[in-house]
Amino acid sequence: MLNRMLKLALGLALPAMLLAGTASAEIRETTLKFASANNKGHPQVTGMEKFAEIVKDKSGGKIEVKLFPGGVLGGDVQTVSALQGGVVEMLVLNAGILASNVKAFGAVDLPFLFNSGEEADKIMDGPFGKSLSDKLPDTGLVGLAYWELGFRNLTNNRHPVTKLEDIKGLKIRTLQSPIPIELFNSLGANAVPLPYTELYTALETGTVDGQENPAANILNAKFFEVQKYMTVTRHQYNPQIVLISKIFWDKLNDEEKAVLQSAATEARDYQRTVSREVDAKAMAEIKATGMEVSELSPEETQKLRDAVKPLVDKFSGEIGPDTVSLLFKELAAARGQ
């Protein structure tokens, strides 16, 4: 009887053990490079670290994610090309920068678009965000998830900015993307598009007077060392996108793809939480560095909004009417309108 029970137990257990072994064997030993422009300690990089940790756990240690923060593999535009060529496997960057690859991505750069990060989550995780990601494979890229950089604010080294007129004539570094360039030119500034990796030096040498980034970047990149004044403008919200090279992606089997996709989604929720916690604390820390921080009055904020309204009409044609229509339809739904 005992022998029969042991044989029965083994008979039931062996197929399960074999099945588990087969599933595990599907994941191969792989190493991939994951790049970003921000430095260690930034919420972007914290998200990358979480992603690498989840991938290691889900793959049983078979997939190793090597992190390359701080722009060591090049600026964002350069690294996108490296992904398309299969030289680098992964990258996280501001989604709007992809407008040079897929014009529809310019939609996320439209000024004063989102009222909160939570509102942006609904849009980027829903049909609109998917419609953008679906356009990427034709360009040699695959989108895994949308993370967050946050709301951008203006800094400069010449004078406090408390009204629209104060922006006139300032040389402001912007993202290498058409809408941010046009945005600051329309506010009276002289927009200077530069890679993020070159920004600190440009501020230090006076090549530009100022820049615009979320508070976390101002702290992490130590822009307070070379900037005197900050204005809370929240003129633009930046969703980030986690990209993977299509050349690399196509070499993966379904199980390996599932590990990376689920890890990017899990890390997304963690990264957004960290980003918002850092942003909430950042203003006090920035003030403690000695930077003079100004708040725009509602009237002045409205002046900025009015000044950049023509941008929506101007760029809608380039972005694509269907994309813009879907964006505002999803925004209305998110706001219960």
- Model confidence over 101-130: pLDDT tens digits? 999 999 999 999 999 999 999 999 999 999
213 within 8 A of 174, measured Cβ to Cβ? no
pLDDT of residue 177: 87
pLDDT of residue 19: 38
pLDDT of residue 4: 54
3-state SS, residue 126: coil
Average pLDDT score over residue span 28-45: 96
Tokens linked to 323: 């994309």
More confident residue, 314 or 56: 56
Which of the four pLDDT bands, split at 50, 70 and 90, describes residue 292? very high
Which of the four pLDDT bands, split at 50, 70 and 90, describes residue 327? very high
48 within 8 A of 263, measured Cβ to Cβ? no
Question: Rounded distance, CA 317 to CA 328, Å?
Answer: 15
Any residues with CB less than 8 A from the CB of 313 and at least 6 apart, and which?
Answer: none
Q: Which residue do the tokens 């909430």 mark?
A: 280
pLDDT of residue 313: 87
Domains in the chain (CATH in brackets) are: 28-334 (3.40.190.170)
The helix-helix angle for 298-319 and 178-186 (nearest 10°) equals 140
pLDDT of residue 97: 93
Q: What is the mean pLDDT of the chain?
A: 92
- Model confidence over 182-225: pLDDT tens digits? 999 999 999 999 999 999 999 999 999 999 999 999 999 999 99
- Model confidence over 245-254: pLDDT tens digits? 999 999 999 9
Nearest to 91 by CA among 121, 136, 134: 136
pLDDT of residue 3: 55
Nearest to 236 by CA among 186, 285, 277: 186
Which of the four pLDDT bands, split at 50, 70 and 90, describes residue 16? very low
Question: Rounded distance, CA 227 to CA 258, Å?
Answer: 44
Average pLDDT score over residue span 22-42: 86
pLDDT of residue 2: 46
CA angle 223, 190, 204 (to 5 degrees): 25
Provide the percentage of residues in the chain whose pLDDT is more than 70: 93
Distance of CA 310 to the CA centre of its chain: 26
- Model confidence over 228-237: pLDDT tens digits? 999 999 999 9
Any residues with CB less than 8 A from the CB of 102 and at least 6 apart, and which?
Answer: 132, 135, 136, 139
pLDDT of residue 10: 46
Which of the four pLDDT bands, split at 50, 70 and 90, describes residue 25? low
3-state SS, residue 254: helix
pLDDT of residue 11: 52
pTM of structure: 0.87
Tokens linked to 22: 């087969």
Question: Rounded distance, CA 185 to CA 167, Å?
Answer: 10
pLDDT of residue 237: 96
Distances (CA, A) of 197 to 221, 263, 277, 287: 10, 27, 25, 24
99 within 8 A of 76, measured Cβ to Cβ? no
Average pLDDT score over residue span 22-51: 90
Which of the four pLDDT bands, split at 50, 70 and 90, describes residue 20? very low
pLDDT of residue 127: 97
